[in-house]
Structure 1
Amino acid sequence: MTETPLDILVIGHNYAPEPVGIAVYTSGMAEMLAADGHEVRVICGTPCYPHWSVLPGYSHYKVTHRCEGGVAVTRLPHFVPSVPRGWRRILHHLSFALLATWAMLRACWHRRPDVIVAIAPSILSTAVARLVAICVRRPLWIHVQDLELEVALATGQLPGGRRTAALLGAAERWALSGDRVSSISPAMCERLAAKLGRDAAVFEFRNWADPAVVHRAEAESPYRREWRIGRPHVVLYSGNIAAKQGVELVVEAARLLGWRTDIQFVICGNGANRAALEGAARGSGVMIHDLQPTELLGDLLALASVHVLPQIAGAADLVLPSKLPNMLASGRPVIATADEGTGIARESGGAGLLTPPHDARALADAIASLIDDPVRRAAMGAAGRRLAAARWDKREILEQFGRELRTLVVEPGYNRPVRGVIRPRFAQHQPAGRIEPIQQHP
């Protein structure tokens, strides 16, 4: 007998066409659920990330309703700060949460969903989702992409000091107490379980690698001609440029390797710290470009000889960068600035090198060592592709999520607590060969 399709209401601040980060995975999840026959409605914000300005073609002031990829998408206008720090960032999230309260109640009045899925951040909109789920007596699945409060503390972006942190921490624990809670890596699942208590239901629901990245990995990148790159090797960073990334470290490493005529550093990104990065990069020889279209991601990542994944100290277990699976899928080694034992270190084992956060000399030495050792570079790139296939397969991840979502809806007494961290095997096949732990570069 064919299973009855679910009516799924999703609330998430970020959604396509934002080119990077959470939006890619929320829209991918919604569109695949719709393609599998479910009725999917999404309440999201006006696209503005990571540029922090509303994208052309989208309204600053009006609520819009469109069908996109088989999904009924409601976009809410909200405050978009040009500099997303402190109280301005809080106002950004608060304005969305207030509008989302009205939009969710309206959606549930029109037709009560079978299940509500809330994407965090932001915690404020997740709290709205929990309130509405309680009011309409529907199960709530909360998916945590980013430990928002801890990241704000680690990057010094939280105004108000300890009292504000304590208040927001209590609000966060309440907001994240859904019928099911999931996150994107074992390290983040463990932190959530500790935060929410021993009866928390925490599932592992990974992000995925873009299949197009694998298909383009062996071809010569057209960006080499377009950007007139004559040097044989490219060190690439592509993604958001904000406080938690610490991309300035890449510029410092480029200056230390300025004498190398065979290495070109390229940064592709937008974000709150873009202007400061451009100032720091003057005279360094680093090429800085805007983020490239999502459909050209495979071409861009194929440009690299080596990928760099900078993170500030203390952030390696607070968020698993969404760019990592695609870096691995591209078949190029990854140099991550993280300590041993962190989530980033465990997730990229055998596929690159670790260097200490904020240590430009160590990063430069690691880059030079891989550029000068093509055999080792190729072996680490191949290990990365195996990891991507084993752990970040899109179809398997989303099919498993769909099954777990249906289980939440149909099981009697859906709000019973589930103890511990639950790790469904979203990627069931194993990597070919033995994967070594990631190596710490001396």
Structure 2
Amino acid sequence: MKFLLYSINYAPELTGIGKYNGELAPMLADNNLATYVLTAPPYYPEWQIKGDFHNSYSLSEGDNGVTIYRCPLYVPAKVTTLKRLVHLSSFAITSAFRLFSLWRLKPDVLFLVQPTLFCAPFALLFCKLRGTKSILHIQDYEIDAMFGLGLGQSGFIKKTVKGIENWLMSKFDVVSSISYSMLDNARKKGVPEEKLLFFPNWADTHFVHPDVDASSLRWEWGFTADDKIVLYSGNLGQKQGLEIVLDAALAFKDQPHIKFVIIGSGAYRDTLEQMASEKGISTIQFKPLQPWELVPQILVMADVHLVVQKKGVADAVLPSKLTNILAAGGHALVTAEEDTELGKISALYPGIYQLVEPENPAAFIQGLSALLAQDTRATNQIARHYAVENINKDKVINRFIQNLEQITKSGSLKNV
């Protein structure tokens, strides 16, 4: 079977969609699928082209058996709504030329990852002409996220854009997503039940586990054994609503043993650092993204993990960082409404994490205080058990491979 992964994000990006794509493709290749990737140069979350990569067309053969085709795109130094639209559109255009140059490749399956939906028209046309099965995998409902942040509120524009989105989604052979709530959203957008596939994000529960010794890293980063570490790690973007973390740090300023650490890069980092400085917060550290090999130590070192989102975003964007927090048996404070996927998991597995209302500083601080009062050095066994049983990397991807075989043989998801 020939599998073509089509996505704007790929390894060596360390966070979000690029990380998952970078793990999926090599594992498919290890299972004897001829695997190809159509992507952009790595740029996220710093919003600049990484290292030795060039913003141009390129072809590389990975040591893991994956062939990678990269296409240039516009990467804004400062992200605005308009610039982000140009950014997504630029990749859709440059990758479309590269996609049709792969005509002779004749993939059996094209797996388009959203974002960006801008690539969907070209992907569907290619699949229709080439006889390739098309899968739209939704990591992020970019249209819902845009409207959830209050952008483009004109009734006519909103109706038109959503109509186009629904039509495009309905044309794919299969629509997969990372949560049941997001699949429910696809149903509401008109995708037939027989086309829906659950394909969650995963965690490497063998690599990330609670038994890692993080004492040396704690010492290296200047923390004492008595310090309580509150960690946010991931993209530092405006949609996260991270101002609430600064509010919490300010609320605990008279307890200097409670330390806050923000790890990551993104368009909003400079603003957050400036705000922290203006508030006179001395118990907060900002650090860049860390090497992947340090992730288990970082996760185990933290007493409390923060998963922060704004209202209206939780069902549109399921936070990928949570999978590794659960694998590490971490104690997490999660902002989400009760009727979201995160809310439903919290209700089904009491104690897996603490749920608080988004954009409510008082509730956030109260929830954090309650977690800090617990024995946060002990493993959260509920979280760890959930990770091993439900989001183990090997289990998730092996099940997906079985789904692919069914789709290519019968053309449907029946009996999957």
**2:358 is aligned with 1:357:** yes
Please report how far the alpha carbon of residue 97 of structure 1 lies from its aligned counterpart in structure 2 after TM superposition.
0.7
The separation in 2 between residues aligned to 1:119 and 1:53, in whole angstroms, is 21
Summarize deviations over 1:164-188 as a string: whole Å, max 9, x none: 3333222222322310110001111
Pair 1:391–1:149, CA change in 2 (3 A): same
Summarize deviations over 1:19-71 as a string: whole Å, max 9, x none: 10001111211111100111111100111001001101100234343325210
The separation in 2 between residues aligned to 1:394 and 1:331, in whole angstroms, is 16
Residue pairs, 1:364-379, within 5 angstroms: 364-374=365-375, 377=376
Of the three residues 281, 285, 288, the one matched with 2:276 is 281
Summarize deviations over 1:114-157 as a string: whole Å, max 9, x none: 1111111100113321121111121111111011101111123x
8 A Cα contact 2:209 2:327, kept in partner: no
**2:380 is aligned with 1:385:** no
Pair 1:386–1:304, CA change in 2 (3 A): same
Pair 1:380–1:169, CA change in 2 (3 A): farther
**Amino acid in the other structure paired with 2:345:** E
**Amino acid in the other structure paired with 2:85:** I
Unpaired stretches in structure 2, ≥5 consecutive residues: none
Which residue does the alignment assign to 1:21? 16
TM superposition score normalised by structure 2: 0.93
Which residue does the alignment assign to 1:343? 341
Which residue does the alignment assign to 2:228? 233
**2:156 is aligned with 1:163:** yes
The separation in 2 between residues aligned to 1:93 and 1:222, in whole angstroms, is 42
**2:77 is aligned with 1:82:** yes
Comparing 143-152 with 357-366, greater Cα deviation is found at 357-366
Pair 1:417–1:62, CA change in 2 (3 A): closer
Which residue does the alignment assign to 1:308? 306
Which residue does the alignment assign to 1:183? 177
Which residue does the alignment assign to 1:330? 328
**2:255 is aligned with 1:257:** no
8 A Cα contact 1:233 1:371, kept in partner: yes
Comparing 222-231 with 294-303, greater Cα deviation is found at 222-231
**Amino acid in the other structure paired with 1:69:** N
Q: SS of the residue aligned with 2:208? A: helix
Comparing 353-362 with 116-125, greater Cα deviation is found at 353-362
Pair 1:69–1:337, CA change in 2 (3 A): same
**2:143 is aligned with 1:144:** no
**Amino acid in the other structure paired with 2:90:** S
Q: SS of the residue aligned with 1:43? A: strand
- Percent identity between matched residues is 31
The separation in 2 between residues aligned to 1:121 and 1:366, in whole angstroms, is 32
Which residue does the alignment assign to 1:129? 123
Which residue does the alignment assign to 2:208? 214
The separation in 2 between residues aligned to 1:114 and 1:364, in whole angstroms, is 51
Pair 1:142–1:113, CA change in 2 (3 A): same
Unpaired stretches in structure 1, ≥5 consecutive residues: 1-5, 425-442
Pair 1:346–1:406, CA change in 2 (3 A): same
The separation in 2 between residues aligned to 1:65 and 1:267, in whole angstroms, is 34
The separation in 2 between residues aligned to 1:378 and 1:202, in whole angstroms, is 40
Please report how far the alpha carbon of residue 380 of structure 1 lies from its aligned counterpart in structure 2 after TM superposition.
7.4
8 A Cα contact 1:193 1:201, kept in partner: no
Pair 1:205–1:54, CA change in 2 (3 A): same
Please report how far the alpha carbon of residue 365 of structure 1 lies from its aligned counterpart in structure 2 after TM superposition.
1.8
Count matched residues: 408
**Amino acid in the other structure paired with 2:309:** Q
The separation in 2 between residues aligned to 1:159 and 1:193, in whole angstroms, is 23
Please report how far the alpha carbon of residue 345 of structure 1 lies from its aligned counterpart in structure 2 after TM superposition.
1.9
**Amino acid in the other structure paired with 2:305:** H
Of the three residues 295, 298, 302, the one matched with 1:297 is 295
Q: SS of the residue aligned with 2:135? A: strand
8 A Cα contact 1:221 1:302, kept in partner: no
Please report how far the alpha carbon of residue 401 of structure 1 lies from its aligned counterpart in structure 2 after TM superposition.
0.4
Q: SS of the residue aligned with 1:214? A: coil
Q: SS of the residue aligned with 1:14? A: coil
**2:408 is aligned with 1:409:** yes
8 A Cα contact 2:232 2:262, kept in partner: yes
Please report how far the alpha carbon of residue 84 of structure 1 lies from its aligned counterpart in structure 2 after TM superposition.
2.2
Comparing 213-222 with 6-15, greater Cα deviation is found at 213-222
8 A Cα contact 2:11 2:19, kept in partner: yes
Pair 1:68–1:145, CA change in 2 (3 A): farther
Q: SS of the residue aligned with 1:244? A: helix
Which residue does the alignment assign to 1:204? 198
The separation in 2 between residues aligned to 1:205 and 1:396, in whole angstroms, is 11
